[in-house]
Amino acid sequence: KKPKRTKEEIEEARQLKIKKMEEEEQSRWRWWEEEKYEDGVKWRFLEHSGPYFPPEYQPLPDHVNFYYDGKKVKLSLAAEEVALFFAQMLDHEYTTKKVFRENFFQDWRKEMTDEERSLIQELDKCDFGEIHAMHKAKVEARKNMSKEEKLVCNIQFRKVLKEANQKILDEYGYCLLDHHRERIGNFKIEPPGLFRGRGEHPKQGKLKKRIQPEDVIINCSKESRIPVPPAGHRWKEVRHDNTVTWLASWTENIQGSIKYIMLNANSKLKGEKDWEKYEVARKLKSCVDNIRNQYLMDLKSREMCTRQRAVALYFIDKVGVTVVILKLALRAGNEKEEGETADTVGCCSLRVEHITLHDTLDASECVVEFDFLGKDSIRYYNKVPVIKKVFKNLKLFMEDKQPGDELFDRLNTSLLNKHLSSLMPGLTAKVFRTYNASITLQQQLKELTNVIILFFFPCRLPESDSVAEKLLSYNRANRAVAILCNHQRAPPKTFDQSMANLQSKIEARKEQLVLAKSELKQAKKEAKAKGSADAKLQALVVRKKMAVKRCEEQLLKLEVQATDREENKQIALGTSKLNYLDPRISVAWCKKMEVPVDKIYNKSQRDKFAWAIDMTEVGFEF
DNA sequence: ACTGAGACTTGGAAAAATGTTT
DNA sequence: AAACATTTTTCCAAGTCTCAGT
């Protein structure tokens, strides 16, 4: 009786979902069909509720204590809050790092009362054990919520929690922009905590302070309902600037940089800009040959800075396409303030120590070996053969320099970009990344899907049963781009396990296939023996045939999945998919290959790329 | 020409949600 | 429904690039 009802419920829920999606599609703002606003104007009307502030600090219960040098110490509220930040992270490697500990301790002491400060002199004598244990218990309790009590009250509790979150989302998660309700990307003010930079960040462990309404600037229409600050507070400022896209901003205390509250990726403001970005990249396609010829000429320039610019461009653009894709696609590499951030570089900020020149290496001539930390302290390691002129120039640039000296001492991103924008309006260094990523996807899709059709299924039309292979090709093309852009990830912790699981699934499927095949044989034999008149047995044969076919399909699907996962071990596809690949290439491919778009893009990705999904024809060429 | 503030895109990790198996 | 695996969303740091002021 019970499962029947749930089945119906599931069906009902599905119907509701479909209906909701249709409604959503109906109400979607098709901004791409509208006329663009005059230059610089981002909106005409903007109304929102202001940011959502994190909850106030809740003091520790009496039985949870902090100890200094073995003695129980009751901390002031401010000091206790910061102590909790540290205690919460105790399981993390950060808290063992010297820089982290020193920064934390220094900032913590600033929050202490004079009395506390004179008592608490050494971090090593601090015992956060009880606070840490409490925090862990809390996390555990949240995780086990469904485990411990099977009772309704728990489910209700969760429902209440969910509803509360929904209410916050409804209230603060949306804004009204030119008569359309748009989702806000990050409507919550970042809660206080300890700063965790990436890589060897000199400021790791410092206290990220709590943001007050008095720190926040609100941006909205003059004639809109002005957001009300939390009781007893006021905004730093309310302004009405329709040349910017942010709704609220504040200055963060670690780097002194400004943080913004902006719209979701599926909004008009973000979408239009994204579209524009790909249009600029397509424009580059039409003049990239000229630009390449130009910088190849510039390699021989009498001016040193022109030569450096040419070599840098060569690094940013490409190194050449051989059997394997060999492109560089370095980032621009702005200069950074020393000691303020982790030591990372991009093209223009490369130092002599980051490259090694090899006259010959592995049967190739003029090989440049790159080894440096790029954005987010991700290592970039690559050995690339370059043309002779580039190689000679590099030797020249490195003459009489120390490892720590700049490779391009006459060049910076501003000079480079100024030159680029003179070659084509809107052209900057990063456009090359977008262009090379998108054009590579298009080429790879062409090549890889041809391989499938021509070699593996020469007599099979692209049917639904080969969707899995098509998707593998797509992912491989996507992967080629991710490798090009050096989008790496740490292998998932469960990688080996999940790979083994998949393998055993494959084994099981193989056995099942053998069984199904022998059953089919048996059925055929019996049918033959009884003669073709026996309809029942004929039907059985057909059924068994189907079973074998289904089994084969499923096996293939699993094997494809295994290949895909293995190849993806250390590669992150998300960033390129979301930021570098013109979605119209993917949509056109889906149409051509008869693959549903939702196999490529999930819900939020489809929302983000709604403009592309709507406007792209099969024949789209990047 | 140089500098710093400002605005906006890009990035991987971690948390949360969802799906699948036991 | 627990346990586990996988996908999606959230988080917020770290880049790029423009522009105003000197």
A409, A512: one domain: no
pLDDT band for A137, please (50, 70, 90 cuts).
confident
Question: A87, A109, A144 — which closes off a domain?
Answer: A144
User: Residues of A from 119 to 148 whose C-beta is within 7 A of strand C: which are they?
Assistant: 146-147
Q: What's the Å distance between residue A575 CA and nucleotide C3 C1'?
A: 31
Percent of chain A residues topping a pLDDT of 90: 68
CATH number of the domain enclosing A539: 1.10.132.10
A384, A491: one domain: no
A98, A167: one domain: no
User: Taking 70 as the threshold, does the pLDDT of residue A6 lie above it?
Assistant: no
Which of A317-326, A469-478, A575-584 tops mean pLDDT? A575-584
Q: What are the pLDDT digits (tens) for A453-473?
A: 555 555 554 444 578 888 989
Instruction: Identify whether A604 is part of a domain.
Output: yes
Residue A299's Cα: distance from chain center in Å? 36
Residue A607's Cα: distance from chain center in Å? 16
User: Taking 50 as the threshold, does the pLDDT of residue A412 lie above it?
Assistant: yes
Quick one: residue A267, left, alpha or beta (phi over 0 = left, psi -120 to 50 = alpha)? beta
Instruction: Identify whether A31 is part of a domain.
Output: no
Minimal CA–CA distance to A330: which of A484, A488, A490, A198? A484
Residue A154 CB lies within 7 Å of the nucleic strand C: no
Q: What's the Å distance between residue A544 CA and nucleotide C18 C1'?
A: 68
User: Taking 70 as the threshold, does the pLDDT of residue A565 lie above it?
Assistant: yes
A136, A204: one domain: no
Main-chain dihedrals φ then ψ at residue A488, nearest 5 degrees: -105, 155
Between CA A316 and CA A327 the distance in angstroms is 9
A242, A340: one domain: no
**pLDDT attached to residue A461:** 47
Instruction: Identify whether A500 is part of a domain.
Output: yes
Nucleotide of closest approach to A204 (CA, C1'): C13
pLDDT band for A548, please (50, 70, 90 cuts).
confident
DSSP string, A379-446: EEEEEEE--HHHHHHHHHHHTT--TTSBSSTT--HHHHHHHHHHHSTT--HHHHHHHHHHHHHHHHHH
Question: A243, A264, A285 — which closes off a domain?
Answer: A264
CATH number of the domain enclosing A285: 3.90.15.10
DSSP bridge partners of A571: A488
Whole-model pTM over 0.75: yes
**pLDDT attached to residue A4:** 40
- The better pLDDT of the pair A581, A523 is held by A581
User: Taking 60 as the threshold, does the pLDDT of residue A68 lie above it?
Assistant: yes
Residue A294 CB lies within 7 Å of the nucleic strand C: no
Q: What are the pLDDT digits (tens) for A170-181?
A: 899 999 999 999
**pLDDT attached to residue A13:** 59
Q: What are the pLDDT digits (tens) for A186-235?
A: 999 999 999 999 999 999 999 999 999 999 999 999 999 999 999 999 99
Q: What are the pLDDT digits (tens) for A513-544?
A: 888 888 888 888 877 777 666 677 777 788 88
Instruction: Identify whether A130 is part of a domain.
Output: yes
Instruction: Identify whether A256 is part of a domain.
Output: yes
Instruction: Identify whether A10 is part of a domain.
Output: no
A221, A351: one domain: no
DSSP bridge partners of A260: A249
CATH number of the domain enclosing A133: 1.10.10.41
Average pLDDT value for chain A:
89
Q: What's the Å distance between residue A414 CA and nucleotide B2 C1'?
A: 11
A242, A357: one domain: no
Instruction: Identify whether A296 is part of a domain.
Output: yes
A352, A412: one domain: yes
Contact A457, A466 (CB under 8 A): yes
A384, A445: one domain: no
Which of A341-350, A362-371, A462-471 tops mean pLDDT? A341-350
Residue A575 CB lies within 7 Å of the nucleic strand B: yes
DSSP bridge partners of A239: A219
Q: Domains in chain A: how many in total?
A: 4
A133, A159: one domain: no
A246, A275: one domain: no
As a three-state string, the secondary structure of A412-426 is CHHHHHHHHHHHCCC
A295, A257: one domain: no
Give me the domain span that covers residue A372: 270-426
Question: A264, A299, A317 — which closes off a domain?
Answer: A264
Residues sharing a CB contact under 8 Å with residue A466, sequence separation 6 or more, in sequence order = A452, A457, A460
Q: What are the pLDDT digits (tens) for A260-288?
A: 999 999 999 999 999 999 999 999 999 99
